[in-house]
Amino acid sequence: MSLINLIEFEEIGDSRGSLISLEQMKNIPFEIKRIYYIFGTKKKVSRGFHAHKNLKQIAICLSGSCTFLIDDGRRKDTIRLSRPNVGLYIDGIKWREMHNFTKDCVLLVVASEHFNEEDYIRRYDEFLKVVNE
Ligand code: T46
């Protein structure tokens, strides 16, 4: 089964344009404790390269595009995010990498927990050990 879990958000559009509303426990399947966004990513820079022990996140590319790689230790899948009405839901212990950001990429991430460096697994060998336990 693919590791790419996409959520399509309903657009509340009218003659003026589009609007999308994100609501915890409605179209976001967890309580939202944090929102951050990544922008201005330099050319040829990749980000991520870690997993989380206990964090649910939804990543939405509000403008531009970037590629996510999701890895559960057994398989890897990739997805190019380029639409502001589509979120990539990442839960469980998954290694993630983000590549090929366009200059105009604004990546919004909605997270279930406050920032906690202790929740990160930043070494791939440690990630493999944890998922194979
Ligand atoms: C993830 C991917 C999709 C904070 O202080 N607060 C925050 O909320 C975040 C997200 C980061 N930071 C600090 C931690 C580092 O010193 O900002 C610095 C950059 O974070 P990091 O290198 O982890 O960023 P990315 O782009 O590699 O990963 C981020 C998230 O950290 C991560 O949870 O899943 O985006």
Give pLDDT, residue 74.
97
Query: Which of 32, 33, 35, 36 is the pocket-test mutation for ligand 1 (most atoms within 8 Å of CB)?
Result: 36
Q: Phi-psi region for residue 25, left (φ > 0), alpha (ψ -120 to 50) or beta?
A: left
Query: Averaged over 83-97, what is the pLDDT?
Result: 98
Distance 21 CA to ligand 1 centre (A): 24
Give pLDDT, residue 82.
98
**How many other β-carbons are positioned within 10 Å of the β-carbon of residue 39?**
14
Which of the residues are catalytic? 50
Query: Averaged over 14-22, what is the pLDDT?
Result: 97
Task: Place 2 in a pLDDT band, splitting at 50, 70 and 90.
Answer: very high
Give pLDDT, residue 87.
98
Give pLDDT, residue 24.
98
Query: Averaged over 62-82, what is the pLDDT?
Result: 98
